[in-house]
Amino acid sequence: MYKWTDEDGNVQYGEKPPSGTQAQRMKGPSAAPSNPGYEPPTLDTGDDKGQKQTKQEREKIAKENCENARNNVKVYTKFKRVKQGDKVVELKDHERKRRLEYAKRQVKKYCK
């Protein structure tokens, strides 16, 4: 991961800096944090015992799901390597694309 300042004075981060740009190699985790295979809690109107979730509980779950989905969109857009459990895996392009599309659908579903 590299850090550099663009021509507008904004600090940028990426896997490869633009050519001709002075960039600083960053130290940090070897992969982006993510939750591959994570299934967000559902917004059920009731559980097995027939109890209903309150509107406040459903809104809280939706907000958490929205934040997770947006984070996953960022991760799958920028990184090929992700942390899966306690392993770091490199995603094939088709798998990364599939996960990115799923994360975008989750954003549409939960970020209203």
Interval 5-48: pLDDT, tens: 877 777 777 778 788 888 888 775 545 555 655 666 665 555 55
**Amino acid letter at 94?**
H
Q: Tell whether 104 and 83 lie within a shared domain.
A: yes
Report the domain count for the chain. 2
> Are 98 and 43 found together in one domain?
yes
Same domain, residue pair 18 and 67: no
Q: What are phi and psi of 60, to 5 degrees?
A: -65, -45
Shared-domain flag, residues 63 and 93: yes
If asked whether residues 68 and 90 sit together in one domain, one would say yes
Summarised one tens digit per residue, pLDDT across range 44-99 is: 555 555 456 788 888 888 889 899 889 989 989 998 888 878 888 888 899 999 98
pLDDT at 30: 47
And the tokens for 61? 């779950």
Q: Are 111 and 71 in contact (CB under 8 A)?
A: no
Q: How confident is the model at residue 101 (pLDDT cuts 50, 70, 90)?
A: very high
Where residue 2 falls among pLDDT bands split at 50, 70, 90? confident
Q: 104 falls in which pLDDT band (50, 70, 90)? A: very high
Here the tokens at position 31 are 């992969």
pTM: 0.53
Query: Hey, what amino acid is at 82?
Result: V
- Domain housing 66: 31-110
What is the pLDDT at residue 4? 78
